[in-house]
Amino acid sequence: MKPAPFRLHRPDRVAEAIELLSVYGDEAKVLAGGQSLMPLLALRLARFEELVDLNRIGELSGISFDGEELVIGAMTRQADVEVAPEVRKSAPLLARALRYVGHFQIRNRGTVGGSLAHADPAAELPAVAMVLGAVVDVVGPRGARQVPAEELFAERWTTVLDVDELLVSVRIPVMPAEAGFAVEEVARRHGDFAMAGVACALSSGHGRVDRARIALFGVGRTPLLCPLVAKEMEGSLLDELHPAALDELAALATADLDPPDDVHATGSYRRAVAAHLVGRALINSLEELRRA
């Protein structure tokens, strides 16, 4: 047996899970799909006395849509989100990005909430949540709160959630009809974590970009929004956004990046790849926008 011993708690309700987390504090860890936590336990990179398994909490799974927001329960499997018609319709970027998350066997277990809570800097969903303006619902012993995705990620593998708080759902506002999206990444093999990647969501009205959100992943300690690019793009006429202008925007998006070197790639290579990917994402999302 590879993991160190632990006790397993299998609550049926969110309230019970919160109670366990508040009793055990940092001795406890939440177990969702296990696709990140189980490897950490098996390699003994992490060790917890108490595991709180969320898999029996039915109220944490499911997708609902009220016309304005898509609400996805934290324990909804990535594979189920990927094929859900309401996701494909109202948040196509999320469905597209999920195809890059590991492999189908991983997504059959991995959850949307787990991916956000795990906050891997190279993960796709945190960046996608940021560009879609998603908000997460958090519940803890001190009550419920909402955290916008862009304020959720504090550090590598660290969110602003307290140890006794649970991410219960993510809310994704529906984008206007005139919108275009792209997610682009470079990884060693399909399904690996990205060496560099970008998610992009644009919308327009009267021939002008009215909202531009671009986020990079795999190149920093958290996913990184590119506010300078957004500022340059918003208000621009679609016709002005020709290839040379997009190249400049891509350079702007990556100018201040200082990605780390690691076994997969050097920092300068990552930055060069990121600039290229931003260019490609802008071209592809504009194309979709113009068709919309």
- Name the residues that contact ligand FAD, by CB under 6 A: 29-37, 39, 74, 100-102, 106, 110-111, 113-115, 117-118, 120, 123-125, 161, 166-167, 191-193
State yes or no: residue 106 binds other proteins (CB under 8 A).
yes
**Side chain identity at residue 23, one-letter code:** V
Joined tokens for residue 42? 């098996």
Contact region with other proteins (CB under 8 A), list: 66-74, 158-166, 183-191, 211-219: 183-191
Q: Of these, 18, 32, 35, 213, which contacts other proteins (CB under 8 A)?
A: 35
The rounded distance, in Å, linking the Cα atoms of 17 and 21 is 6
Minimum CB distance to ligand FAD, residue 112 (Å): 8
State yes or no: residue 104 binds other proteins (CB under 8 A).
yes
State yes or no: residue 51 binds other proteins (CB under 8 A).
yes
Q: By C-alpha distance, which of 39, 85, 78 is closest to 61?
A: 78
* Contact string (CB under 8 A) for other proteins, positions 57-96, x = contact: ----------------------x-----------------
The rounded distance, in Å, linking the Cα atoms of 22 and 50 is 12
The rounded distance, in Å, linking the Cα atoms of 6 and 146 is 31
DSSP string, 242-263: -HHHHHHHHHHHHTT--PPP-S
Q: Are 18 and 139 in contact (CB under 8 A)?
A: yes
Minimum CB distance to ligand FAD, residue 246 (Å): 26
Question: What does 260 interact with, of ligand FAD, other proteins, none (CB < 5 to 8 A by kind)?
Answer: none
